[in-house]
Homo-oligomer: A and B are copies of this chain.
């Protein structure tokens, strides 16, 4: 595969002027010290931007980070896994604020310069008594260099560390962009999904950065789906500290476009990594809808196909079932005409003009047997298109998500409920 940018190691720690740290507090599991608390700090003031879940049930850290971003730019992010601090009321807000406060003072920052994120089980109080003893270790652990500890500390049901970093030349300067992401269930488009942190030593105004982030999130995290469930905690936070020494990138100039393209690429890489690491996923499917009358129509078709339980089941079974695809196209609320719909699986026609095409079934089966393949749906009615990235749905996904009782039992043991 052609990679248009130069990859480097280090994730969120790769850009200049960022320090990271991660410790294990036993939030995920008191019985071991898996990393579950992370900190990112910029040595210089930053431009910052964020996007948050559009779920009306918003976790406390989402509310607090959003409020902090409205006050001004962030310079640090504290994040934990194991507990989402969602549906936790006033106490949840106090706990999220306390997490910011605890690191702001020693770092010489205002509390509102710290963003806070949590991911994990919903509806149980934050076990603050597990976190508090570890702030000191978290702060003294801050160091330059690889930031994989952060990527690791935000993992829950994720099976892989998901991070990426690149450098690119903007004029005579080199700038770096690094990012990490977590997310494997409750993944659905419509706003930044799951937790994602991105750092860069490029130099942009807050306005330019916000514009770029909104646009890139729309083209990456809003285009993936695993189970169609939108989380209460989805957050993307981006910090740009200018430590590369590059003069400020002018809004809408050519360097700004170059930077935006690179940011889009990084976000799309991370978004795809989320789908590939989806809970008990066996297929990564790119669904491209073409020839729609409007952008909205193309998006509706892509979302209906990518979210259909029956389509996802057939992918899981390696069945090139175009009948189920076209039935989802039909109920998508897009204006489609059955007799114009073409469906290609791995480049081979499966359905032409709404009817079975001549491609031998075994050829189509060979495509869908692969772990990654592409489906193109041409509505032949216009020129709008939309691409989404989806997974299959496996019996093991359901099995994995049958019960969160163990979390509740631990909370009861901790005296939290």
- Chain A interface (Cβ < 8 Å from any Cβ of B): 54-58, 86-89, 121-124, 185-186, 188, 190, 227-232, 307-310, 312-314, 316-319, 321-324, 326-332, 334-339, 341, 351, 353-356, 361, 365, 393-399, 401-405, 408, 412, 417
Q: Is the CB of A310 within 8 A of B89?
A: no
Given contacts A57-B341, A318-B403, list 10 more A-B pairs with CB under 8 A.
A55-B331, A56-B336, A57-B330, A87-B355, A88-B355, A121-B323, A122-B327, A229-B310, A310-B401, A395-B399
Given A55-B330, A331-B56, A354-B87, residue A324 in contact with residue B228 (CB < 8 A)? no
Q: Is the CB of B87 within 8 A of A56?
A: no
Q: Is the CB of A310 within 8 A of B394?
A: no
Q: Is the CB of A354 within 8 A of B323?
A: no
How far in angstroms is the closest Cβ of chain B from A321? 6
Given A56-B330, A327-B186, residue A401 in contact with residue B87 (CB < 8 A)? no
Q: Is the CB of B56 within 8 A of A124?
A: no
Distance A274 CA – B182 CA, assembled complex (angstroms): 39
Q: Is the CB of B356 within 8 A of A417?
A: yes
Distance A397 CA – B58 CA, assembled complex (angstroms): 32
- Interface of chain A, helix or strand or loop or mixed? loop
Distance A369 CA – B4 CA, assembled complex (angstroms): 53
Residues of B within 8 Å of A337, CB to CB, are 56
Residues of B within 8 Å of A354, CB to CB, are 57, 87, 89
Distance A412 CA – B185 CA, assembled complex (angstroms): 39
Q: Is the CB of B124 within 8 A of A327?
A: no
Q: Is the CB of A327 within 8 A of B395?
A: no
Which one of B86, B308, B351, B361 contacts A408 once the chains associate, using CB atoms below 8 Å? Answer: B361
Distance A84 CA – B403 CA, assembled complex (angstroms): 37
How far in angstroms is the closest Cβ of chain B from A235? 15
Which one of B87, B121, B229, B324 contacts A309 once the chains associate, using CB atoms below 8 Å? Answer: B229
How far in angstroms is the closest Cβ of chain B from A310? 5
Q: Is the CB of A310 within 8 A of B403?
A: no
Closest to A315 in B: B402
How far in angstroms is the closest Cβ of chain B from A369? 11
Distance A339 CA – B230 CA, assembled complex (angstroms): 19
Which one of B227, B334, B396 contacts A395 once the chains associate, using CB atoms below 8 Å? Answer: B396
Residues of B within 8 Å of A231, CB to CB, are 327
Q: Is the CB of A316 within 8 A of B398?
A: yes
How far in angstroms is the closest Cβ of chain B from A389? 17
How far in angstroms is the closest Cβ of chain B from A183? 13
Q: Is the CB of A317 within 8 A of B401?
A: yes
